[in-house]
């Protein structure tokens, strides 16, 4: 399996992370990609540089106002003269009877769902590069590759059409799926990150052409808390094309594989032409937040389960906090896929 990657991700190096009232350094660091690259090297995957696709693929998913905000944000922030070293909103309007703001502080609050997506001088460039990585992988699959892995950083599945959050700015998985839609009438996004793919769900919630499935730690006690419940099934034309499979905190190998079987049956009934895997490796037993407890050998089983779905597949990297096992888990899941294919 080929892997798409660019070093342009390094321009995004966030520092701020607020955890239960305590300010810490975020774990969404460039080193995360280094550990994933080690996993690709161990699996002997060929690295491919992305093609630059421009704004078009991003505009299929994200609103014009949001894209303008992200592209202009850092210059407007620094022009204030008394701003901090990163952009972190101090308001988060719920938009009830609200007016779209023109001031950068207001726009920052409007377009961020939480404080976990600080914007720095290189964030926009890195986020755009990540979408090019995802779209390149999707295009390679459309051109005949059976499966391609996209090492996207920053990640994307918490990003809505017009909101950043949870380390995410542009929704790489959604952008890849929209690109695949140029060839396939129906596409599935299967999110196996420990956190619910709330941004992806929101983007496609009323659409019947993209089926969103997420296996994640129970949001009753885990981020994002207010999305990711089993009763969220879509709305309007998209009713029935969203499936959430929340798992009890600490669920291990067998429970996770059972959830994969539920997802597989639902995906088969949708009869898609292609599959996007929003690949989180943070369901690991060694992940610092310990939401789930999947072992490295069972990441291989996850890869095998994905392969047996028999669909052209784009793996888009999402979560996976810094841990010694991160690269090994990536090697394991891709090896499992290749073995079962």
pLDDT score recorded for residue 322: 84
Q: Which residue has the tokens 């002997």?
A: 44
Cβ neighbours around 115 below 10 Å, total: 15
Q: Which helix (H) or strand (E) holds 112?
A: none
Which of the following is catalytic: 45, 111, 158, 184?
Answer: 158
Between CA 168 and CA 156 the distance in angstroms is 4
Write out the two tokens for 182: 């140029």
Handedness of CA 219, 220, 221, 227 (dihedral sign): positive
Write out the two tokens for 309: 């779905």
pLDDT score recorded for residue 320: 81
DSSP character string of 288-337? TT-S--B-HHHHHHHHHHHHTT---EEEEE----S-TTHHHHHHHHHHHH
b/e string for 310-319 if b means 16 or more Cβ within 10 A?
A: ebbbbbbbbb
CATH of domain 2-15+23-53+125-340: 3.40.800.20
Q: Which of 216, 148, 214 is nearest to 179 (CA)?
A: 148
Are the beta carbons of 28 and 120 closer than 8 angstroms? no
286 is catalytic: no
Are the beta carbons of 284 and 294 closer than 8 angstroms? yes
pLDDT < 50 positions in the chain: none
Handedness of CA 110, 116, 120, 126 (dihedral sign): negative
Cβ neighbours around 53 below 10 Å, total: 18
pLDDT score recorded for residue 289: 86
Strands (E), 107-252: 147-150, 187-191, 210-217, 242-247
Between CA 274 and CA 263 the distance in angstroms is 15
């Amino acid at each position: 399996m080929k892997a798409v990657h660019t070093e342009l991700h390094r321009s995004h190096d966030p520092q701020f992370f607020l955890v239960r009232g305590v300010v810490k350094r975020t774990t969404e660091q460039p080193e995360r990609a280094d550990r994933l690259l080690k996993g690709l090297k161990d699996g002997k995957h060929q690295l491919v540089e992305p093609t630059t696709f421009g704004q078009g693929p991003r505009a299929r998913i994200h609103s014009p106002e949001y894209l303008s905000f992200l592209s202009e944000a850092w210059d407007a922030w620094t022009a204030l003269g008394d701003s901090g070293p990163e952009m972190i909103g101090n308001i988060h309007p719920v938009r009830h009877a609200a007016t779209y703001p023109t001031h950068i502080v207001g726009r920052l609050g409007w377009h961020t769902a939480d404080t976990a997506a600080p914007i720095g001088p290189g964030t926009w460039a890195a986020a755009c590069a990540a979408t090019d990585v995802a779209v390149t992988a999707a295009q390679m699959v459309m051109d005949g590759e059976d499966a391609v892995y996209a090492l996207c950083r920053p990640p994307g599945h918490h990003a809505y059409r017009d909101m950043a959050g949870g380390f995410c700015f542009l929704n790489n998985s959604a952008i890849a799926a929209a690109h695949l839609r140029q060839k396939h009438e129906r596409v599935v996004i299967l999110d196996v990150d420990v956190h619910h793919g709330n941004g992806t769900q929101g983007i496609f919630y009323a659409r019947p052409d993209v089926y969103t499935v997420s296996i994640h730690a129970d949001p009753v006690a885990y981020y994002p808390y207010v999305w990711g419940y089993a009763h969220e099934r879509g709305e309007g034309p998209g009713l029935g094309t969203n499936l959430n499979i929340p798992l009890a905190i600490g669920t291990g190998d067998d429970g996770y594989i059972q959830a994969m079987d539920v997802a597989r049956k639902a995906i088969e009934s949708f009869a898609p032409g292609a599959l996007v895997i929003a690949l989180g490796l943070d369901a690991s037993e060694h992940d610092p937040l310990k939401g789930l407890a999947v072992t490295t050998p069972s990441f291989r089983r996850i890869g095998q389960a994905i392969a047996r779905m028999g669909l052209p597949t784009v793996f888009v990297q999402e979560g996976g906090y810094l841990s010694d096992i991160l690269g090994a888990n990536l090697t394991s899941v891709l090896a499992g896929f290749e073995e079962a294919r």
